[in-house]
Structure 1
Amino acid sequence: MPPHETSPLLASHHDNGGSTRKPFDPIGSTRHLLLGSWINILLVCIPLAFIADALHWSAVARFSTSFLAIVPLAKLLGDSTEQLSLKLGQTLGGLLNATFGNAVELIVAIAALIQNELRLVQTSLLGSVLSNLFSGFYFHESTFQVTAAQASSSLLTLACITLILPAAYHASETEQTAATIKSLLEDGAPDPNDSSLRGLLILSRGTSIILLLTYLGYLYFQLRTHAQLFEAEQVEGEEEEVAAMDQWSAGGWLVIITVLTSFCADILVGSIDETASQWHIPKRFIGLILLPLVGNAAEHVTSVWMACKGKMELTIGVSVGSSIQIAAGMIPLLANFETIVLFVSVMLVNLLLQDGRTNYMEGVMLMSLYFVIALSYLV
């Protein structure tokens, strides 16, 4: 095991990934996708979840089957995206991986919003950011490109700061009565009689628009003006990865998997209240810890696998890029405690990225923070 490992920047594929295009082969592509991992054994839980919902089985049965069904669906979503990204080049492929990696979280959030579970939306999206706290033990020390990592972490910090401002405004403009605090903790929604609500909505929506525009500027920075910071130097002797699925089959399976995930997410969200009550588990713990771990399964597998191969830029690109998309484009107004949790997490990540090197002790610190947060929501 070498004492130091230097990795290429933000890619596991070469720019000429589209030079060898796989011919249309739906049968072979499907075989590769469905038989490519032992995790796909859990696909049997998809029909079980539909049966449990149709026959009105217990909430625990519906929660368990739909929860386990989303695990292979998230993995298949990541695999299909990776096959598509082989044709798109390094940076765009990494962006596509992070974007579709967040599809499960978005589907769960939409299902929760439809069922008026605003608190679940907040905790699940926050948990999606926190679950990207990662650690590594494979190499003694690894290096990565500092400028690109700092640009990403700085944008994540900006998103965190803009989330703090509405929460601070709401705290300063209202008298937090016991009823108001209880409403915030249970529902995650402001009191409709709150006189500061109009200003809060303007501030929240305004910062959301500004964040979205800033993220679009970051994409232009990443893909156009400073693309060289996010491009990998070709390593001599490294073999080019060839797509095992044709592009049409990969795209078709993306659509099918997304539809199946939406149905399973609807069943899952509908069973959370009763399941939390029967299992005596806080509902916020389910939203913050359990749902993000399932939704981020594909990203976690990709990050761990790339980190083991020494590709730290791709690991950081997927993890931090995913967090940026959620923090800058998907998180609604958070209650004060969730905002503080997000802030301290982002601050620690930012500090650890400053020197362009990482080791297992930094990973231990990240994981320790995640476990402390999980414990705080469990109690």
Structure 2
Amino acid sequence: MDYKLQTVDVLPQLEMGSLDGKSVHEFMDKSHFSSEVDAQKLHPTHTVEIGSCSSSLQASGNIMFMLRNVVSENLKKVVFSSKLNLLMPFGPLAILAEEMTGHRGWVFFLSLLGITPLAERLGYATEQLAFYTGPTVGGLLNATFGNATELIISIYALKRGLIRVVQLSLLGSILSNMLLVLGCAFFCGGLIFHKKDQHFDKGTAAVSSGLLLMAVMGLLFPAVLHYTHTEAHAGKSELALSRFTSCIMLVAYAAYLFFQLKGQKNQYVPLNEEGSQNEEALDDDEAPEISKWESITWLLIMTVWLSVLSEYLVNAIEGASVAWNIPIAFISVILLPIVGNAAEHASAIMFAMKDKLDISLGVAIGSSTQISMFGIPFCVVVGWIMGRSMDLNFHLFETATLFITVLVVAFLLQEGTSNYFKGLMLMLCYLIVAASFFVHVDNTSPDGGQTGT
């Protein structure tokens, strides 16, 4: 009887707080632990599954959040960082204009505007990639992807059989780089550093001038052979000579690349005032804004979009010429290269204003060298594969223009110095060339055939 009363009195003691706090906590902890154990006995895997699912959901959520951050940062740096990118919507507008109106003039104009920021952003992505490849490979990449616009347009034009458009656009790219791009670089750099002459490596300039003269030789002989009527086999010797010469020029350009990358000092490292190369000049507060693989991804994306717009552009050239009453020669030699050289134009001016004239020279003259020694022969070989009669006969007017341009630039580069007056001279020469092609009547049809005398 007494035992029963003692056991019953435990509850009132708990309620009255007769037990100390430590005993109460021990009692509650044991009860809570025992309930968890019982639950795990009833469902041994349920709690483990809940924990793994929640951790996997949290990990996937973190990954998605990181991806969104990376994509938004990339869009901010690559797409929204340049005011020129305001022209990007004109690309889709060109496609809409083609599908809805079919007006070739508007399609050409909108495509031209849409390609302009793509060419400039292609140069930006290449510059970012150059931080990871070194200055020499980076300079060559800059020249290569800077010319991607012209090469893509040329391949689409070849596909349509517009051989004359290919010839004139490649010629215009060389003239634009040598006169307009280099002239603007000299002029802007000379204005910033007007109290002194800017210096660059004379040896590198001499090698580039020699390659350009070799390209002129390659274009001159087929034209002379044609206009002197001294072909051994009429209609065949000129084309055979062009294809043979193109293969020789490609070999020469490959040897030039090997010479620059393996056996020669770095032409893309700026010179100091004493004429020696200054390796530290490239590292003054400059760092890549995006990673290597992000640069490669953006290069691929913009190249694909550039290819799409280039097809619309090429298809609208002839219609735009008729609609605007502008010669195809002027459109091909002046308008197309100005858009295609947007990347080189921006890069050359930027480096010249930082007193890194060797890099500006490498971009402008290097791009001209690449088009003349690689781009033109490459298009001849591609036309050969496609069954197109693409040759090196650019006709007398165009070949003479190129020859005189190379001579003028070679004379201005021989001292190894530049100033704003030399830049002004080159820009004025470009205006003369533009005016000449505006009044020049090309007696050749877009597919390369003669239309009259």
Report the TM-score, using the length of structure 1 for normalisation. Answer: 0.85
Equivalent residue letter for 1:158:
M
Matches within 5 A, 1:1-379: 25-132=70-177, 133=179, 134-135=182-183, 136=187, 137-138=190-191, 139-140=193-194, 141-173=197-229, 195-232=233-270, 233-235=278-280, 239-331=284-376, 332-333=391-392, 334-379=394-439
Check whether the contact 1:152–1:324 (CA below 8 A) recurs between aligned residues: yes
Distance 1:376 1:237, change over 3 A: closer
Q: Distance in 2 between matches of 1:272 and 1:166?
A: 27
Q: Tell me how far apart the structure 2 counterparts of residues 287 and 236 of structure 1 sit (CA, whole Å).
A: 38
For residues 274-310 of structure 1, give each alpha carbon's deviation from its aligned partner in whole angstroms, at most 9, with x where no partner exists: 2111211111100000000001101101011111111
The structure, 1 or 2, with the larger RCO (C-alpha pairs under 8 Å, 6+ apart) is 1
Paired letter, 2:221: L
The more displaced of 148-157 and 120-129 is: 148-157
Check the 8 A contact 1:148/1:229 in 2, yes or no.
yes
Distance, in Å, in 1 between the alignment partners of 2:289 and 2:208 is: 31
Which amino acid letter does the alignment assign opposite residue 96 of structure 2?
I
Q: Secondary structure at the match of 1:281?
A: coil
Letter in 2 for 1:151: V
CA drift of 1:196 comes to 2.4
Structure 2: gaps of 5 or more residues: 1-68, 271-277, 377-390, 440-453
Could you give the per-residue CA deviations for residues 105-156 of structure 1, whole angstroms, max 9, x where no partner exists?
0011111112221111111100000101132142332111111111112111
Q: Report SS of the residue matched to 2:155.
A: helix
SS of 2:373's equivalent?
helix
CA distance in 1 between counterparts of 2:117 and 2:268 reads 30
Report the CA distance shift for 1:217/1:240 in structure 2 as closer, same or farther (over 3 A).
farther
Give the deviation of 1:237 after TM superposition: 10
1:266–1:228 distance in 2 versus 1, CA, 3 Å: closer
Partner SS, residue 418 of structure 2: strand
1:65-112 CA distances to partner (integer Å, 9 max, x unpaired)?
Answer: 111000111011111111111111111101100000000000111111
Please identify the structure whose Cα radius of gyration is greater: 2
Q: Distance in 2 between matches of 1:348 and 1:72?
A: 31
How much does 1:229 deviate?
Answer: 5.0
Structure 1 residue 364, shift from structure 2 partner: 2.0
Partner of 2:59: none
Contact residue 25 and residue 249 of structure 1 kept, 8 A: no
Query: Are the equivalent residues in 2 in contact too, given 1:303–1:314 (CA < 8 A)?
Result: yes
> Letter of the aligned partner of 2:417 in structure 1?
R
Distance 2:109 2:268 in 1: 40
Amino acid of the structure 1 residue aligned with 2:216: C
One-letter code of the match for 2:323?
A: Q
Give structure 1 regions of 4+ aligned residues with deviation exceeding 4 angstroms: none
What is the DSSP-based 3-state SS (H/G/I as helix, E as strand, rest coil) of the residue aligned with 2:347? helix
**Secondary structure of 1:86's match?**
helix
Provide the C-alpha distance between the structure 2 equivalents of 1:257 and 1:78, rounded to a whole number of angstroms: 10
CA distance in 2, matches of 1:46, 1:228: 38
Code of the residue aligned with 2:211 in structure 1: it is: L
Q: What is the CA–CA distance in structure 2 between the aligned matches of 1:108 and 1:28, rounded to whole Å?
A: 31
Q: Which amino acid aligns with 1:71?
A: T
Give distance in 2, aligned partners of 1:60 and 1:162.
35
Report SS of the residue matched to 1:196: coil
Q: For residue 256 of structure 2, what is the amino acid of its counterpart?
A: Y
**Aligned AA (1:157):** L
Letter in 1 for 2:432: V
How many residues matched?
Answer: 338
Whether the 8 Å contact between 1:147 and 1:229 is mirrored in structure 2 is no
Q: Is the 8 A contact 1:86 1:241 kept in 2?
A: no
Unaligned runs of 5+ in 1: 1-23, 176-193
| Partner SS for 1:330 | helix
Residue identity matched to 2:313 = L
Deviations 1:24-80 (A, max 9, x none): 944422321011101111111121112112224311221121110001110111111
Deviation of 1:172 (Å):
2.0
Q: Distance in 2 between matches of 1:296 and 1:228?
A: 24
Letter in 2 for 1:204: S
Name the TM-score, length of structure 2 as normaliser. Answer: 0.72
More displaced, 103-112 or 225-234?
225-234
Q: 1:153 to 1:203 in 2, by over 3 A?
A: same
Equivalents in 1 of 2:138, 2:281: separation in Å?
21
8 Å CA contact 1:221, 1:227 repeated in 2: no
| Contact preservation (8 Å) 1:285, 1:374 | yes
Whichever structure has more helix as a proportion of its residues is 2
